[in-house]
Amino acid sequence: MKKVICSEKAPGAIGPYSQAIEANGMVFVSGQLPIDAVTGQMAEGIEGQARQSLENIKHILEEAGLTMADIVKTTVFLQDMSLFTGMNGVYATYFDGAFPARSAVAVKALPKDALVEIECIAVR
């Protein structure tokens, strides 16, 4: 059985998908754009955008009763690999100790012309 997870502190889905789905003790968080749920605005620069994407993930996990420490895998989508260092510096501050497994890839384009989008899988 699956359960839809939705946080008002993260931006709503911009398409036919859920912010997150829980199934069998695993929470699959959809790719989070760097949009502030309160203002609807996108953060500036790669550091600000990475931070906002991770904050959105954090809010969704909190809604599920989890924390960033429960993440086992992330995938980072970057508009260009030249943004990797800036994203990586911010990313490192969101985890303590054992980092989750991670993939980081450059893509041709992201929705709303974002510089970064991050998705993750967390477990109970």
* pLDDT for residue 33: 97
Exposure letters 25-55 (e unless 16+ CB within 10 A, then b): eebbbbbbbbbbeeeeebbeebbbbbbbbbb
Question: What are the residue boundaries of the structural domains of the chain, listed by start?
Answer: 2-123
| One-letter identity of residue 97 | G
pLDDT digits (tens, 9 = 90+) for 19-55: 999 999 999 999 999 999 999 999 999 999 999 999 9
Whether the pLDDT of residue 67 is over 90: the answer is yes
Q: Just give the CATH number of 2-123.
A: 3.30.1330.40
